[in-house]
Amino acid sequence: MKKLIFFVSLIAFIGGLIFAQQYFSKRAVPTSKQIPIAGKQFGGDFTLQPDGGKAISLSDFRGKVVVIYFGFASCPDVCPTSLAIISSAMKSLSDEEVADVQGLFISLDTERDTPEKLKEYASYFHENIIGATGTAEQIQKITKQYGTYFTKVSGSSELDYLIDHTSVTFIIGKDVGAGKTFNFGLRILH
């Protein structure tokens, strides 16, 4: 149990660092493009296509702590850094404790991130992290549900682009209920 508290504390600390870096960054997200949280309920269930398997829903992980991160596999900096931090925290847990944690990397890049690519990418960080994607409409709905932002930023070619996105780690309690949010870019739902 102490390791689980350490895990949540470590994620909160790192989330704070990432939040500060983004908050003080000169490249702020334009307020006109921020996506408001939909409806009265924050968070909630969703269904996506995982890394090469059958469709999964958040509710499939009831009874586990679920760590969700929205990003994309071609991200040059914040996504691999955040997933490495999540992985490091998971590796600090005992086998019994890590069995109660499920990582979920949700891709915002529906054009390039195939289920096969996500399986390889997510498992590189930790065997308990699943990569999942969906249609552009599904991803838009889920990000709105969780109050996150993303937009495609054009590059020199059709496939050479980046995705600006919110860097937030969500930790959802074992009962997978509606949320309580904490500062520093870390949102814990229980």
Higher local confidence (pLDDT), 181 or 176 = 176
The predicted-structure confidence for 94-108, as pLDDT tens digits, reads as follows 999 999 999 999 999
Total length of the chain? 190
- Tell me what pLDDT residue 44 has: 84
Percent of the chain with pLDDT over 70: 66
Give, in order, the Cα–Cα distances in Å from 75 to each of 44, 145, 153, 179.
Answer: 26, 22, 12, 28
pLDDT above 90 covers what percent of the chain? 43
Mean pLDDT of 136-158: 88
For residue 115, give the nearest of 40, 175, 17, 48 by alpha carbon. Answer: 48
Output the pTM of the full model: 0.73
The pLDDT value given to residue 121: 95
Q: Evaluate the CA torsion angle 18, 20, 26, 32 in order and state its sign.
A: positive
**Domains of the chain: which residue ranges?**
2-22+42-74+82-189
Chain segment 40-65, per-residue pLDDT in tens: 567 888 999 765 568 889 989 988 99
Higher-scoring residue by pLDDT: 55, 155: 55
Of the options 3.40.30.10, 1.10.10.60, 3.30.360.10, 3.20.20.140, the CATH number for the domain spanning 2-22+42-74+82-189: 3.40.30.10
